Structure 1
């Protein structure tokens, strides 16, 4: 799951990135308004961590741009401003939550996870889909009583498929979602096929149907009929 961290303090941005990467997220960064706007226009994120005060513009203006583009990305504002007016203005502009600096990274992570659950999984901490049960808090996947061990990328891939169940997702969308800014490092799609193959194998070995269908010339679909 891909996050965008819009924060001009590079040290804080790096700390947030490091922590959220350890929490199974993939992070992209922007240190000013213009770079952030370019990324928001081009990409979709499960959540945007947004500072209000930025070089060349305001985080509140970015919220307005998101609203104008009908984007559904979750937004968590982080700001040193602690007045009630700033909180209300941010939330009324479309933010999902507001966290005042300084904060503990664990609280930031918990709030981002809560936003993602509300946006993608109707606030649930456990998802049952087909024969699978996924505990989002513990990041544990089970088929019946059997736990299915997943790598970080397999877990991210499964979440992406589940949040887009019964929809065709392109190879390009999968690459962008899982690798973000590192996309240019890949000169072929072999690594996608490898991750999908391994995930399918693990699910089927645990007794599941083949949920992940290749759609010729288009991409893949996580098909659940019940």
Structure 2
């Protein structure tokens, strides 16, 4: 199965490729997101003209990924995300620095996100505490502390996995829509500043 999206052919034929996040970034940018220190990652970002607002390790890794993700066009499974960007995922059984997680990437966009759920209450509490510090430092995307969830884990949770699938993004591809807002019934949009809104209404002949 092949489709054309925004003038680019996407081949959905199986098998879909699998890549390791660490290896993919290292091959293209020459840095190791697992072993290299933060200053090395930050230096590489600055070389590429990127000045991250937050300089925590997780943000540095995400910004490095942003530089290379558009190279992926055909369906590809991205594996083994570092712990710093996967606060709810279980550590990998072979390497505790990364997690048992994968994303399905198509045309540089995340279509699915899945991982083995972290069911260790001690590890989860530590990660929530780290996320709370990030929120205090101004990171609005960091997870909030959830003591009720940790308490539930203390009672016991069996091994389990989860998968989130972006159906709306699939629809965006098959309808050749340039933006996800075009296929969501009630998309979130940023409010127009009053002056801009006044100008728009005035140009339309509205009584402002």
TM > 0.5: no
TM-score, structure 2 normalization: 0.23
Bigger proportion of residues as helix: 1
TM-score, structure 1 normalization: 0.22
- Structure with higher Rg: it is 2
